[in-house]
Amino acid sequence: MQEQVVKILQFIGEDPNREGLIDTPKRVEKAYQYLTRGYHQKLEEVINGAIFESESDEMIIVRDIEFYSLCEHHMLPFFGKCHIGYIPQGKIFGVSKLARIVDMFARRLQIQERLTTQIAETIMETIGAEGVGVVCEAQHLCMRMRGVEKQNSVMTTSSMLGSFRREASTRQEFLRLIKG
97, 46 in Cβ contact below 8 A?
yes
pTM: 0.94
**What is the residue-level pLDDT of the chain in tens, covering all 180 positions?**
999 999 999 999 999 999 999 999 999 999 999 999 999 999 999 999 999 999 999 999 999 999 999 999 999 999 999 999 999 999 999 999 999 999 999 999 999 999 999 999 999 999 999 999 999 999 999 999 888 888 889 999 999 999 999 999 999 999 999 997
CA distances from 158 to 32, 40, 56, 162 (A): 27, 26, 24, 13
Ordered domains of the chain (ranges, CATH): 2-35 (1.10.286.10), 50-178 (3.30.1130.10)
In this structure, the number of other CB atoms found within 10 A of the CB of residue 142 comes to 16
In this structure, the number of other CB atoms found within 10 A of the CB of residue 117 comes to 18
122, 136 in Cβ contact below 8 A?
no
